[in-house]
Structure 1
Amino acid sequence: MFRKLMAGEFGQVRAEMIAQDHVLSSLGGRTANEALEAGTGAKEVWLAVCDAFEVPENHR
């Protein structure tokens, strides 16, 4: 579901780039991919991405 939400909000290519490259301080200085691999819940990662990129509430 996380990947589907990311692609829906940012487009497939940009979503992959964000998940791989954008470091999120709210996730302990990890990227979304690193946080997911470390066991952080997909919902927590999604909300961290939403906060970082100011995704409107109605898209979350």
Structure 2
Amino acid sequence: MRLTVFWERMAEHFGAAYADSFARDHVMSELGGRTVQEALDAGWETKDVWRAVCGAMGVPADKR
């Protein structure tokens, strides 16, 4: 998954303003105690980060 697609999906689910805040501030156990931004900066694949967000935040199956 391209990074641009990842951010589009984040904005679609959370709203443009909250997606950025969520990515910077919400620590997720599914990402090893990292935020979304920290996981991406550490080199995690965007598809793996998106899957973690989907699982933790209950993103509907048709949006995954």
Unaligned residue ranges in structure 2 (runs of 5+): none
Counterpart residue identity of residue 4, structure 1: E
**Corresponding residue for 1:39?**
43
TM (norm. structure 1) is 0.94
Structure 1 residue 46: deviation in Å?
0.6
Unaligned residue ranges in structure 1 (runs of 5+): none
The number of equivalent residue pairs is 60
Structure 1 or 2: more strand by fraction: 1
**Corresponding residue for 1:18?**
22
Cα offsets for 1:1-40 (capped at 9, x unmatched): 1111100111101111110111110111000000000000
Coordinate RMSD, CA, aligned: 0.7
Greater relative contact order, per chain length (Cα 8 Å cut-off, separation 6+)? 2
**Corresponding residue for 2:33?**
29
Distance 2:38 2:15 in 1: 20
Distance 1:31 1:48 in 2: 11
